[in-house]
C-alpha cells in the first residue's frame, strides 16, 4: 500500500507533473502547515481559527512570505519557484494582484516539489522563516 503521507517519487515522475499540478499539491501542504502552526500556537479557536487560516493562505500573504525566503533558496529550488511563477494561470482571484497570485503559485509549486521529494526538513526550515514575524507577535 502506498503511504501518501510519506510519498517519494522519482525525479522523472516529478518532472512530468505540470507546475499547476505541483502548485495544487503545494497548496495543500501550505494549508496543513498553516493550520498546524495556528493550533500549535493557540492563535484562535472556532471561527477565529478559520479566519486566521484564510488570512495566512490568501495569495497576498503567501506572496509576502515567498519574498522572505527567496534569498534562502538553492539554485534547484529557485528554478522550481520560477517554473511555478511562470505557470499559465487563467484566473486570478479579485482579492489578489496578478503578481501576488503568481508568487503564491510559485511558492506552492516549490512546496509541492519538495513534498514529493520527501524533503520535510527543508519544508519546515522554509516555513519557519516564512512565519518568523508572526512568531514574535505571539
Which residues 6+ apart lie within 8 Å of 20 measured at CB? 87, 88, 89, 105
Cα(14)–Cα(107) distance, integer angstroms: 16
Cα(88)–Cα(71) distance, integer angstroms: 25
Catalytic choice (3, 6, 12, 27): 27
Tally the residues of the chain: 138
Cα(57)–Cα(6) distance, integer angstroms: 23
The overall longest dimension of the chain from CA atoms, in Å, is 43
Q: How many CA atoms lie within 13 A of 81 on its CB side?
A: 19
Active-site residue flag, 27: yes
- Whole-angstrom CA distances from 59 to 62, 74, 92, 112 are 5, 23, 10, 16
Active site residue ranges? 27
Amino acid at each position: 500500500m502506498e503511504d501518501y503521507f510519506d510519498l517519494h517519487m522519482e525525479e522523472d515522475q516529478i518532472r512530468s507533473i505540470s507546475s499547476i499540478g505541483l502548485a495544487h499539491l503545494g497548496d495543500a501542504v501550505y494549508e496543513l502547515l498553516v493550520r498546524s502552526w495556528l493550533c500549535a500556537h493557540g492563535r484562535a479557536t472556532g471561527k477565529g481559527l478559520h479566519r486566521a487560516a484564510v488570512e495566512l493562505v490568501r495569495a497576498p500573504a503567501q506572496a509576502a512570505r515567498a519574498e522572505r525566503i527567496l534569498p534562502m533558496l538553492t539554485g534547484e529550488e529557485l528554478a522550481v519557484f520560477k517554473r511555478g511563477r511562470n505557470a499559465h494561470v487563467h484566473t486570478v482571484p479579485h482579492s489578489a494582484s496578478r503578481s501576488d497570485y503568481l508568487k503564491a503559485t510559485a511558492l506552492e509549486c516549490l512546496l509541492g516539489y519538495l513534498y514529493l521529494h520527501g524533503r520535510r526538513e527543508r519544508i519546515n526550515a522554509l516555513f519557519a522563516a516564512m512565519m518568523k514575524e508572526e512568531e514574535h507577535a505571539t
